[in-house]
Structure 1
Amino acid sequence: MNFQDWFKLFAEQIASTSIIEWLAVGFGVSEVLLAKKNNIWLYPTGIVSILLSMFLLLNVKLYAEMLLSIYYLVMSVYGWIIWKKRKEEGENQVSYSSNRDLLIAILISTIGFVVFYFALKNHTDSDVPILDAFVSATAWAGMWLLAKRKIENWIFLNISNIVAIPLLFHKKLPLMGCLTAFLFVVAIFGFFDWKKIINKNKLKLAV
């Protein structure tokens, strides 16, 4: 398939995109921009996007990502509560992960992948169990780190994003694929923005 064929297919998919997918993408864009700014409103915005995405993912049989969305929902409420409690401290909560944090994140990714893959392979009609399981497991770890305001959340989320992009196009969800590509780029900037916050806090403590 040449570039013109790909472009035509993409245009056809965009033209047939449902209003639910447009809304999910719109709220998803808002969520990641707010996360980049370290703004607590990322959570209520994200919750709306998650609920809409759950409906879409269920329809295209991305079951692990559907479960991931439920986890996102729980972690969004959890993160919202934590961030609200720490509102007064704000940016001071952004930090690097400890060795223990990273170990837990890696365990979440590894165990999550094994569990997801086994469930998808043996108990669903998924045609992409490996990719679906990988995307979901690494994103689980990223969301856990985001709730704890650890800078490495951007790394885990982007590991998930880079695999999710072609997977979503394969499942004929072009807008969500484009959103994920956008999230990938924003996550890179988010990492460096949070790094600046950490360095600024270090300078304050040194003075």
Structure 2
Amino acid sequence: MANWVTVFVEEIKHTSVLEWLGAGFGAAEVLLAKANKIGLYPAGILSVLISVYLFMSAGLYAESALNLYYLVMSIYGWWFWAFKRSSISLPVTRATKKEWRITLCIALGGFLLLYVVLRYIMKSTVPVMDAFVSATAWAGMWLLAKRKLENWILLNISNAVAIPLLFYKQLPLYALLTLFLFIVAVFGFFEWKRILKTEKK
């Protein structure tokens, strides 16, 4: 245990300014989202741009692609929030059997596609874990867009694998940020479950 802590402290000491900024903007995005502030989008965009560069440098190609998706969604979200926010949002519901089949197809199909690209084209050193993290995140984000309670489960499966992967790739601040997101997702699941019960009354 002491050895692990020593290694972690040493990694933090040698963390680049860019990683501090990327993780810092990522944390700011989550906190601003929780506070329902539009500033979450510029913070998220800055975090994503830095993250793509760092993940590409670390050989996490699928994570980089996932962050490019986040970039597109952040730009769209910023526009939607500024001009269309008065629109009525979808209610929170549970995923149907058909939606679960689609979710599994996204996760399995995404994993196989990413694995082949990472293993044979990008020559990734961690094709299985990198592909798994992104594929399960894609599936979770699809459920999130449809306001399905189970989105939090898929996103946290992704987070659970991403944490050790980021530590392995010597990105400790991103690992801590992902741990923070894991905790937020746990609270998100129970909050949405409460909303679901309220909407059914």
TM range (shorter): 0.7 to 0.9
- Aligned length in residues: 200
Aligned-pair distance for 1:15?
A: 1.1
Worse overlay, 66-75 or 94-103? 94-103
Q: 2:106 aligned with 1:108, yes or no?
A: yes
Instruction: Give the aligned CA root-mean-square deviation in angstroms.
Output: 2.3
- What residue number does 1:119 align with? 117
Aligned-pair distance for 1:127?
A: 1.0
* Aligned counterparts of 2:2 and 2:67: Cα–Cα separation in 1: 34
1:77-128 CA distances to partner (integer Å, 9 max, x unpaired)? 44555666354435x5333233333322221111110000001110123111
- What residue number does 2:56 align with? 58
**Are the structure 2 counterparts of residues 156 and 78 from structure 1 closer, same or farther at C-alpha, using a change threshold of 3 Å?**
farther
Worse overlay, 39-48 or 183-192? 39-48
Greater RCO (CA < 8 Å, at least 6 residues apart): 1
- What residue number does 1:89 align with? 88
Structure 1: tracts of 5 or more residues without a match: none
**Are the structure 2 counterparts of residues 103 and 188 from structure 1 closer, same or farther at C-alpha, using a change threshold of 3 Å?**
same
Contact 1:75 1:147 in 2 (8 A): no
Q: 2:13 aligned with 1:12, yes or no?
A: no
**Are the structure 2 counterparts of residues 151 and 181 from structure 1 closer, same or farther at C-alpha, using a change threshold of 3 Å?**
same
Q: Tell me the TM-score normalised to structure 1 length.
A: 0.85
Aligned-pair distance for 1:23?
A: 1.9
**Are the structure 2 counterparts of residues 40 and 147 from structure 1 closer, same or farther at C-alpha, using a change threshold of 3 Å?**
farther
Give the secondary structure class of the aligned counterpart of 2:112: helix
Q: Tell me the TM-score normalised to structure 2 length.
A: 0.87
Q: 2:184 aligned with 1:199, yes or no?
A: no
Contact 1:36 1:186 in 2 (8 A): no
Contact 1:79 1:148 in 2 (8 A): no
**Are the structure 2 counterparts of residues 55 and 141 from structure 1 closer, same or farther at C-alpha, using a change threshold of 3 Å?**
same
**Are the structure 2 counterparts of residues 95 and 87 from structure 1 closer, same or farther at C-alpha, using a change threshold of 3 Å?**
farther
Equivalent AA in structure 2 for residue 111 of structure 1:
G
